[in-house]
Amino acid sequence: MGAFSRYASAVALAVFLLVASHSQAVAQERASELPRLSPSASVAQMIGITEVTVTYGRPSVRGREVFGELVPFDRVWRTGADEATVIQFSDPVTIGGAEIDPGAYALFTVPGAEEWTVILNDEPNQWGAYNYEADRNVHTFTVTPEAAPFRERMTFTFDAVTSSEATLALRWDELRVPIPLAVNTEALVVAQAEEQIAASSSWQEPLQFAAYALQNEVLLSEALQWAQQSIERQENFNNLYVMARVHAALGQYNRAMVTGEQALALAEDAEDTPVTLDRLRGDMERWSAQQ
């Protein structure tokens, strides 16, 4: 047997053993430099302060009938190509009506003509669905596929993203499969604030959370507490101004004016003029009219 024949036989045997043994391939192995017919991809999205990442293989249509043929109906599918698709959450996420713990999960699906079943399985390191075990499912739920413009190569996108919600959409051929995601961002921010403020003595630590709440018009009662904690650590123009703005956001214009006057007094004594001083003066004119 020639050298090339021995090489070809060795390669064929290796491929056979790989498939036959259904060896578990971790998601990180998708980074292999060898080209794939269905290239690996990863897409990540921040929902508030929570990161959701999907790692998958991207098969192409290549003139084939996809759903119902290439991807049979009513059978568990890896939701992509090669290794099982993996979805990873940095914080608890509500998906399909159930709160799922942080971690990595295999994202299997069971396509159907009218309805798809979505499966989160606690073994993310799998090749295809060959080693799929239903008793390791963490959650299953159904979604309704939608007609969509043709897409040659399968793609996951994050649509309608807000600070607490998003839709993970599988797009391939002429189909879009939406998977709703939700995160309790406010609770996560409060928990993070408690941890980080307790671990730091800086006046800036609580102030950043107060500013976040103010900018996003959420957690305003907590924002007052965070601004007060910042002032107690080191009173300055910045935290007094934020405190005044939070009072105003709560409709407490008298308190906003009092705190704003305190900020103005500090600004007058400061060596450097605060860059937001004129903005404070403009705000105080509006607050005065609201009293």
Weakest-pLDDT range from 108-122, 158-172, 270-284? 270-284
Q: Is the pLDDT of residue 216 over 70?
A: yes
* Structural domain of 112: 23-182
pLDDT of residue 27: 40
pLDDT of residue 270: 83
Distance, in Å, from the CA atom of 225 to the CA atom of 214, rounded to the nearest integer, reads 12
Beta carbons of 101 and 57 less than 8 angstroms apart: no
* Residue that the structure tokens 């600070």 belong to: 163
Domain boundary among 182, 200, 227: 182
Q: Is residue 8 part of a domain?
A: no
Close Cβ partners of 118 (under 8 Å, ≥ 6 residues apart): 95, 96, 107, 108, 109, 140, 141, 142, 143, 179
Co-location of 79 and 141 in the same domain: yes
pLDDT of residue 29: 56
Distance, in Å, from the CA atom of 111 to the CA atom of 71, rounded to the nearest integer, reads 8
Co-location of 136 and 28 in the same domain: yes
% of the chain exceeding 90 in pLDDT: 84
Report residue 269's pLDDT band, with 50, 70 and 90 as the boundaries: confident
Instruction: Please state the rounded mean pLDDT for residues 111-132.
Output: 95
Q: Is the pLDDT of residue 3 over 50?
A: no
Instruction: Please state the rounded mean pLDDT for residues 104-121.
Output: 98
Domains: count for the chain: 2
Q: Is residue 6 part of a domain?
A: no
Co-location of 216 and 176 in the same domain: no
Report residue 32's pLDDT band, with 50, 70 and 90 as the boundaries: low
Beta carbons of 52 and 88 less than 8 angstroms apart: yes
Domain boundary among 158, 182, 206: 182
- The pTM of the full predicted model, rounded to 2 decimals, is 0.82
Domain boundary among 132, 147, 182: 182
